Structure 1
Amino acid sequence: MAVAPYDFIIVGGGTAGCVLANRLSADGRHRVLMLEAGPRDRSPWIHLPIGYGKTMFHKSLNWGFYTEPEPTMKDRRIYWPRGRTLGGSSSINGLIFVRGQREDYDHWAALGNSGWSWTDVLPYFIRSEHNTMGAGPAHGADGPLWCSDIEHRHELIEAIIAGAGELGIPRTNDFNAGDQTGVGYYQLFTRNGRRCSTAVAYLRPARGRRNLRVETDAQAAGLILEGRRVVGVRYRRHGRMQEARAGTEVILAAGALQSPQLLMLSGIGPEAELLRHGIAVAHPLPGVGANLQDHLQIRLMYRVAKPITTNDDLRTLAGKARIGLQWLLTRSGPLAVGINQGGLFTRVMPGPGTPDVQFHFATLSADMAGGAPHPWSGCTFSVCQLRPESRGSVTLRSADPFAAPVMRANYLAAESDRRCVVEGMKFARRLAATAPLRRLLTEEVKPGSQVEGNEALLDFARASGATIFHPSGTCRMGSDPQAVTDARLRVHGVGGLRVVDCSIMPTLISGNTSAPVVMIAEKAADMILADVRAGSSPAISVDSVAGRSSVLPEPAREGSPA
């Protein structure tokens, strides 16, 4: 049954969707509908930073995807959690505020994506944030998204910082000014000891607007097309199929796994893949679902000589009561900072260049991310290669819109990835052997001192490596035949449709992806509103190189992000 028309329909109430809902409805001129498949973000485990461990396998707050058996990872199926609630993955992630490197965005621009250099995107990063460091050339203090310092120093993190100093890695207080090199404490998406998701930062202030409607438990099943223009969305809510119509645009913000899935279900994608599932081809677009990239993390675990870890805090009722009281009284302590407190960016491969690995240092150890802490004092050094060359894909399992997509990560397929991962593990061992850490780390539990040599370390990586939750790139922007969107995030060859989420990244940024997705959504909102003002929003995005027919109007100049 058709409902009253909207100007914009946002598919996905996650990290990007909540930003778009706020910005597109802000002036009151546009009617906005946002559809979210999951429930509202009412669970206390969402808002308590350490609740990350509780939402990792939550049946209703997490999609709980798995890859196909990965031949390069000993045929294991890798668990891929993704947020399924208002705020999406920003409501269940590890809270880390990292933008990536200046060179990441300059590379996007060099690939032909005008307007996406570091200089272009920095104002949107600044606009989004309320940084406890205060305003400056690289940071904002008036935005909705809180980025907070970890105020209390931790003995283990301090030893890591000192040990890294012995290896020539400088201490830094800011990983986000463009140059990441260094070791220090991460800033977190928290405010007064509570998670600051985009649902909290962006959506909550906008919920009272009469021109914004938010529907939860509303899972999109496909797009409604008239010719080569998208005019609405089909979705299931409370077991009943419904339709909503958009007079201006439909915006896919369903993430790197489900945005390409929705395109293919709607007949937009690789022709052979659509026909294989009996889906009529509305518009062939071969790059949909291709170019999948993710950060693989390898977790080294150590026993700690002193009872100073989060394992110790959580092991007894008295410890739980103590940290609970600390949080209630001061909004600080382990409950307020989640799992990973320290970070390190460095280069481990030969030759000049920017950092190629990132470390997350957790004052906790468990058999897997989100698992039960070990019954001994422990910590984890998690290392990931920042710019993997391996590429995977997202395809359809069937024409059933409510079946999970097929995900193939293809981790460690590239030789450069294998070398970098091994060198990153060797660096972790050198760090653990420094004088400041030798007095605290009594044993390498995983992979264990018996695992020696490049081949043995690579075998450990294949046997135990897992996602660090950054799938991206499956609807990448560009102007070549494999690109899915243009630099204004309009889907090539289809009118009234954009993609605004991690899937548009041509190459994965060097670090955690939550802050970059917020930036992408901030910039997209400006582009969308500018195109509406210029009357170019209904256009079909085309590219002559890609052999797509139609003509685009001259793009409008973007408004100032101030």
Structure 2
Amino acid sequence: MWCILRGWRRGSLGPWGALGQHWPRGIRALASERPRIGGEYSHVVVGAGSAGCVLAGRLTEDPDKRVLLLEAGPKDVFAGSKRLLWKIHMPAALVANLCDDRYNWCYHTEPQPGLDGRVLYWPRGRVWGGSSSLNAMVYIRGHAEDYERWQREGAAGWDYAHCLPYFRKAQAHELGAGRYRGGDGPLRVSRGKSGHPLHRAFLEAAQEAGYPLTEDMNGFQQEGFGWMDMTIHEGKRWSTACAYLHPALSRPTLTAETQTFVSRVLFEGTRAVGVEYIKNGQSHRAFASKEVILSGGAINSPQLLMLSGVGNADDLKQLGIPVVCHLPGVGQNLQDHLEIYIQQACTAPITLHSAQKPLRKVRIGLEWLWKFTETDIDDFRRCVRLTREIFAQKALAPFRGKELQPGSHVQSDKEIDAFVRAKADSAYHPSCTCKMGQPSDPMAVVDPQTRVLGVENLRVVDASIMPSVVSGNLNAPTIMIAEKAADIIKGRPALWDEAVPVYKPRTLATQR
């Protein structure tokens, strides 16, 4: 039996750190290639991932829009057919996708001083659906307070009351619509239903340890233990490609290209007018009469901004990139979730480990930490001890074997800290590298309307614009961001749900 405890760390990544050393090949050869002229569109969207597919689907609902969607990776269906690629759409094939460079950028971080200098693997989707085609399909929105914090950090109009309606708009929950759930959106969401005795025992043990049971982790009370929601429908992964892109492909307002590597945004002065991209070894240009929208994610969007001359002017000049706009926040403020595995042996032959060998790991319990504030190690030390407390409860006694990781010999603060440094890993949730905020914030990259500061007709819409990382998996909030941005781009009034009740613990002492 396995338990994941994930905390998150906040940091800053210089623009030539992990973003710079792992650029795809061929960038420097672009200057010598003569571009061929392509068509003109109202909007060019770069990246058909969790956000880009949403934008393609929503913007092409309007007959006056003509959208070009460019994706560096392949389709999520077999070539020349509409049959789904089984490895992407079968939930049990999760690990296979995370290791397949046909659908994955396969990035790696710089060595991390706080983690014994280890280099962490960073898979990112490179296929229709992006990381929503590779992820663990967990649908967790984050806490209401995350979005209140966004508002305080300068993202005006992105508080919980303005975000919840877009979570609902996106969602078609199998349990139906409600105050916190959507019932008729494109994104299919299901509730975990496992009746496995270890799952039941784990939830009972959590309650015995003093934790509440929550009926809906995305509803009134996120705190506590319970069943997670999943982006799975009728046994298949429900990516944003399934939810938003495939239904829009037949529209005359949408052109979707694959295997296209966008090398830079084209500017006339400080006005974005299109993009240059490579397809089949040839350089092309596509022009946007309205806007260029970057939806490449927290690594590729700031990378493309810098290649296009938008970033820290000193860094760009050192690399010989002409400066269009000095915007020092580009590529900074990188935030990610950190996770660690606590393993307990099971004395009964009922675990899922042997039944799901392709997954290698069975992930059962989940608890999220949402402090910054440099206290990661102390927080993880508490996690180890709280997890041990849960495993020690009566409900798990019939199944409880010896502790496998970190092991019962690891007891002191120093020993636990060493375990965390040696074993903690990224949860693959990079974010915040094109921070949304007010123009007065020197590190802000986009304003609350998702427009890139200092230039015209250019937006960023993806997880990179989060002011700070939310306390949950990033796919659900990234989809929400794109839904809300689509209304902004269309000029529609923002949806708003005033005074939605949210659980708050009576005292900090009762909040485990």
Same fold flag (TM > 0.5): yes
Which residue does the alignment assign to 2:430?
A: 471
AA of the residue aligned to 1:506: P
* SS of equivalent residue, structure 1 residue 182: coil
Deviation track 1:407-445 (CA, whole Å, cap 9, x = no partner) reads xxxxxxx2x122111111211111111111232131211
Which runs of 5 or more structure 1 residues have no equivalent in the other structure?
A: 316-369, 390-413, 531-555
Q: Which residue of 2 aligns with 1:239?
A: 281
Partner in structure 1 of residue 37 of structure 2: 2
Preserved CA contact (<8 Å) 2:129 2:239: yes
TM-score between both structures, scaled by the size of structure 1: 0.78
Paired with 1:150 and 1:371, the residues of 2 have a C-alpha distance of: 18
Looking at structure 1, the residues matched to 97 and 117 of structure 2 have their Cα atoms a distance apart, in angstroms, of: 26
TM (norm. structure 2) is: 0.86
**What residue in structure 2 maps to residue 22 of structure 1?**
57
1:233-278 Cα offsets, whole Å, 9 max, x none, are 1111122221111010000000001100000111100112212211
Q: Mark the CA change 1:383 to 1:77 in structure 2 (over 3 Å): closer, same or farther.
A: farther
Q: Residue 117 of structure 2 aligns to a residue in which SS?
A: coil
* 1:501-512 alignment runs, 5 A limit: 501-512=462-473
Q: What residue in structure 1 maps to residue 148 of structure 2?
A: 106
Q: Counterpart of 2:133? A: 91
* Contact 1:293 1:388 (C-alpha < 8 Å) held by counterparts: no
Once the two structures are superposed, the pairs formed by residues 241-256 of structure 1 within 5 Å of their partners are: 241-256=283-298
Aligned length: 453
For 1:51-200, what aligned pairs fall within 5 Å after superposition?
51-200=93-242
Instruction: Give the Cα–Cα distance (whole angstroms) in 1 for the partners of residues 284 and 59 of structure 2.
Output: 23
- Distance, in Å, in 2 between the alignment partners of 1:120 and 1:381 is 31
Q: Deviation of residue 380 (structure 1)?
A: 6.1
Contact 2:199 2:364 in 1 (8 A): no
Using the alignment, how far apart are the partners of 1:511 and 1:162 within structure 2? 23
Q: How does 1:392-471 map to 2 (within 5 A)?
A: 414=374, 416-471=375-430
Letter in 2 for 1:173: E
Cα shift at 1:382: 6.0
- Residue 246 of structure 2 corresponds to which residue in structure 1? 204
1-structure distance, mates of 2:177, 2:356? 37
The letter for the 2-side match of 1:470 is H
Aligned AA (1:34): L
Q: Deviations over 1:164-215 (max 9, x none)?
A: 0011112122000253111111111011111100000111110100110000
Q: Answer whether contact 2:162 2:496 (CA < 8 A) is retained.
A: no
Specify the code of the residue in structure 2 equivalent to 1:456.
Answer: E
Task: Provide the rounded CA distance (Å) in 2 between the counterparts of 1:384 and 1:462.
Answer: 18
**Hey, what's the Cα distance between the residues in 2 that align with 1:379 and 1:286?**
39
Letter in 2 for 1:167: A
8 A contact 2:298–2:432 mirrored in 1: yes
Q: 1:498 aligns with which of 429, 447, 459?
A: 459
Q: Partner amino acid for 1:507?
A: S
From 473, 483, 508, the counterpart of 1:522 = 483
Structure 1 residue 387, shift from structure 2 partner: 3.8
Report what 2:11 is aligned to.
none
* Cα-to-partner distance string for 1:490-516 (whole Å, 9 max, x where unaligned): 000110000000011111111111000
Q: Contact conserved, 1:129 with 1:144, CA < 8 A, in 2?
A: yes
SS state at 2:304 partner: helix
SS at match of 1:257: helix
Provide closer, same or farther for how the CA distance between residues 432 and 228 of structure 1 changes in structure 2, counting only shifts above 3 A.
Answer: same
The 1-side partners of 2:332 and 2:93 are apart by 33
Alignment of 1:13-52 (within 5 A): 13-42=48-77, 43-52=85-94
State the 1:560 CA deviation: 7.8
Task: Give the alignment's Cα RMSD to 1 decimal.
Answer: 1.6
Structure 1 CA distance for aligned equivalents of residues 257 and 248 of structure 2: 14
Letter in 2 for 1:121: C
**What does residue 372 of structure 2 align with?**
388
Query: Equivalents in 1 of 2:46, 2:296: separation in Å?
Result: 6
- Report the CA distance between 1:6 and its aligned residue: 0.4
CA contact (8 A) 1:294 1:388 kept: no
Judge conservation of contact 1:304–1:379 (CA < 8 Å) in 2: no
Distance in 2 between residues matched to 1:517 and 1:109, nearest whole Å: 16
- Which residue identity lines up with residue 32 of structure 1 in the other structure? V
Aligned to 2:270: 228
Residue 250 of structure 1: SS of its match in structure 2?
A: strand
Whole-Å Cα distance in 1 between the matches of residues 494 and 211 of structure 2? 40
What is the CA–CA distance in structure 2 between the aligned matches of 1:292 and 1:29, rounded to whole Å?
Answer: 37
- For 2:132, what is the secondary structure of its paired residue? helix
Contact 2:368 2:471 survives alignment (8 Å)? no
Q: Which has the higher contact order (CA 8 A, sep 6+)?
A: 2
Conserved 8 A contact 1:301-1:380: no
Residue 557 of structure 1 and its aligned partner are, at CA, apart by: 4.4
Letter in 1 for 2:477: P
Q: Where do residues 265-414 of structure 1 align in structure 2 (5 Å cutoff)?
A: 265-314=307-356, 372=360, 385-389=369-373, 414=374
- 4+ residue segments displaced more than 4 Å: 378-384
2:366, 2:337 → 1: CA distance? 11
